[in-house]
């Protein structure tokens, strides 16, 4: 089981994914900042290595303009950033993520 922690602000989304257990271990940490101006994503693995460090589109169909877009990017990318992560296809979990994303827009 894993635990995803989110810290959403007006211009950034910080996150950490932990393997749950007696001694939770960080699987990855990251942030998507510059929302509303020059969005950027930085993701680090458990060993601190950069998994992604990119400037993101601020306009067009792939734009990351706000926290809702950042949450969508995060959920769409988790499996790639944390291989082996078991994300059960739960309609409840996905609907909740979609609802959060919609509310934050």
**Over its length of 105 residues, how does the chain's per-residue pLDDT go in tens digits?**
778 889 998 899 999 988 877 888 888 999 999 999 999 999 999 999 999 999 999 999 889 999 999 998 998 888 788 877 665 544 344 444 444 444 444
Q: Record the tokens describing residue 102, joined without a space.
A: 């919609």
Contact at 8 Å (CB) between 87 and 79? yes
Contact at 8 Å (CB) between 17 and 27? yes
Closest C-alpha to 41, from 60, 33, 58: 33
pTM, two decimal places:
0.79
Whole-number Å distance between alpha carbons of 77 and 55: 15
CA 35 to chain centre: 13
Residue 101 has a pLDDT of 47
Q: Record the tokens describing residue 72, joined without a space.
A: 């969508």
**59-94 burial: b if 16+ Cβ within 10 Å, else e:** eeeeebbbbbbbbbbbbebbeebbeeeeeeeeeeee
Burial bucket for residue 58 (CB in 10 Å: 0-12, 13-18, 19+): middle
């Amino acid at each position: 089981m894993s635990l995803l922690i989110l810290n959403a602000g007006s211009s950034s989304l910080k996150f950490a994914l932990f393997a749950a257990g007696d001694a939770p271990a960080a699987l990855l940490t990251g942030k998507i900042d510059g929302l509303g101006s020059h969005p950027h994503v930085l993701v680090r693995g458990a060993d601190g290595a950069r998994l992604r460090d990119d400037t993101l589109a601020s306009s067009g169909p792939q734009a990351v303009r706000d926290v809702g877009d950042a949450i969508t990017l995060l959920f769409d990318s988790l499996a790639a950033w944390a291989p082996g992560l078991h994300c059960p296809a739960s309609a409840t979990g996905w609907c909740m993520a979609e609802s959060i994303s919609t509310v934050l827009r």
